[in-house]
């Protein structure tokens, strides 16, 4: 009997203590955080023991609206009167901060507001998932993008240490996007700013920091002050110029290429900058647009032409509403 007990105790000693059996490869991840970033192993194991895997997160990430809806339906999600009115009210409330962001960082108030409106309805919907749950679920249970979310999980743990924040309390989207402007952890660390100089970067509860952070993000991604964003175009040919559209979101099409292709440049300001060509699906066919550098800057926030156009058109509606009541 004593021998049996000894064998059992020995086996218990060598058995690995998994931090969370629902998260494959977690122990390897913890090893990396300890070795590369000097985290405490016991504290990380205690943290991840409290992480909950969410099947709803895995279902949500497989059906983003940008991929499942045509433009004319996607647009209606964001161009509603309630959101426009909320943007006007937010502008009135935070006019001084928005003016300062525009003056110092060059990004128009209406663009900042539109991003806040599209992302969270001006703070009305910042997400309901704990960030640690969202990032952990996707890092270890969603193989198609596991490397990306493992990196974001690392950045989240580092930023909570840098900002002296709770690791369990912050909430966000199913993808781990956080706060009023829905920054991913890596974007928070790189672009979030303490715009009110209180010693903290708070994009959850501090509109001043959120406004400054969004403006800083766009500026750092090449926003050109006082430059236009997009312009409608018409095509003289019978088929869409797929060779130009397929170039992607980054402006690489020269003005000469546009002219030779049969695309109209009548509405495009004179210049030598490169252009991106894209189409949006309307009920009666494809609508063609020319995007400049500022369009590309918005797509760095979300790599989708439909997202960027929703921001642009919502910004125009908010500005019209604000100017009508000034």
Residue 181 inside a domain? The answer is yes
Express each pLDDT in 119-174 by its tens digit: 999 999 999 999 999 999 999 999 999 999 999 999 999 999 999 999 999 999 99
Tokens of 248: 């992607």
Q: DSSP for 53-112?
A: --HHHHHHHT--HHHHS-HHHHHHHH--HHHHHHHHHHHHHTHHHHHHHHHHH---HHHH
Residues 149, 154, 155, 156, CA torsion sign: positive
Q: Is residue 243 part of a domain?
A: no
52 is catalytic: no
pTM of the predicted model as reported, rounded to 2 decimal places:
0.90
Average pLDDT over residues 6-26: 60
- 173 found inside a domain: yes
pLDDT digits (tens, 9 = 90+) for 227-281: 999 999 998 877 778 899 989 999 999 999 998 999 999 999 999 999 999 999 9
Residue 265 located in a structural domain? no
Kindly name the residue from 102, 119, 257, 286 that is annotated as catalytic.
119
Residue 192 falls inside a structural domain:
yes
pLDDT at 239: 79
pLDDT digits (tens, 9 = 90+) for 269-313: 999 999 999 999 999 999 999 999 999 999 999 999 999 999 999
Domain count, the chain: 2
CA 113 to each of CA 39, 90, 210, 302: distance values in angstroms, whole numbers, following the listed order? 38, 8, 10, 16
- What whole-number percentage of the chain has pLDDT above 70? 93
> Reduced to 3 states, what is the DSSP secondary structure of residue 241?
coil
Range of the domain at 162: 54-59+125-220
Residue 46 is assigned to a structural domain of this protein: yes
pLDDT on residue 9: 42
Q: What is the pLDDT of residue 10?
A: 41
pLDDT band at 14 (very low <50, low <70, confident <90, very high): very low
Residue 185 has pLDDT above 50, yes or no: yes
pLDDT tens-digit map of 201-217? 999 999 999 999 999 99
Question: Do residues 72 and 283 make contact, with C-beta atoms less than 8 angstroms apart?
Answer: yes
User: What residues contact 138, with CB distance under 8 A and at least 6 apart?
Assistant: 57, 58, 61, 145, 146, 149, 175, 176
CATH assignment of the domain containing 177: 1.10.8.350
Does a structural domain hold residue 101?
no
The last residue of a domain, from among 182, 204, 220: 220
Of the residues 220, 237, 256, which one is the last residue of a structural domain?
A: 220
CA distance 116 to 114: 5
Q: Residue 152: inside a domain, yes or no?
A: yes
């Amino acid at each position: 009997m004593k021998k049996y007990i000894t064998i059992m105790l020995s086996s218990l000693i060598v058995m690995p203590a998994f931090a969370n059996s629902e998260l494959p490869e977690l122990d390897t991840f913890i090893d990396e955080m300890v070795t590369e970033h000097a985290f405490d192993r016991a504290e990380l194991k205690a943290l991840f023991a409290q992480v909950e895997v969410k099947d709803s997160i895995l279902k949500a990430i497989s059906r983003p609206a940008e991929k499942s809806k045509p433009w004319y339906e996607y647009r209606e999600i964001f161009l509603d009167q309630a959101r426009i009115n909320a943007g006007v009210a937010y502008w009135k409330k935070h006019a001084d901060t928005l003016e300062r962001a525009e003056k110092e960082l060059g990004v128009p108030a209406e663009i900042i507001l539109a991003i806040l409106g599209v992302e969270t309805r001006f703070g009305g919907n910042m997400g309901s998932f704990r960030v640690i749950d969202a990032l952990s679920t996707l890092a270890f249970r969603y193989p198609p993008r596991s490397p990306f979310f493992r990196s974001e999980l690392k950045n989240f743990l580092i930023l909570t240490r840098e900002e002296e924040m709770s690791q369990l309390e912050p909430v966000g989207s199913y993808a781990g996007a956080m706060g009023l402007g829905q920054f991913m952890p890596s974007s928070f660390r790189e672009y979030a700013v303490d715009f009110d100089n209180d010693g903290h970067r708070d994009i959850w509860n501090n509109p001043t920091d959120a406004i400054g952070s969004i403006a800083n993000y766009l500026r750092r991604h090449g926003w050109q002050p006082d430059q236009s964003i997009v312009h409608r175009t018409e095509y003289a040919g019978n088929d869409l110029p797929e060779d130009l559209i397929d170039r992607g979101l980054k402006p690489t099409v020269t003005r000469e290429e546009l002219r030779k292709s049969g695309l109209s440049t009548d509405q495009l300001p004179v210049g030598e900058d490169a252009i991106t060509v894209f189409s949006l699906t309307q009920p009666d066919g494809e609508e063609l647009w020319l995007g400049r550098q500022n369009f590309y800057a918005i797509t760095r926030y979300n790599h989708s032409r439909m997202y960027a156009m929703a921001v642009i058109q919502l910004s125009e509606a908010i500005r019209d509403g604000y100017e009508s009541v000034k």
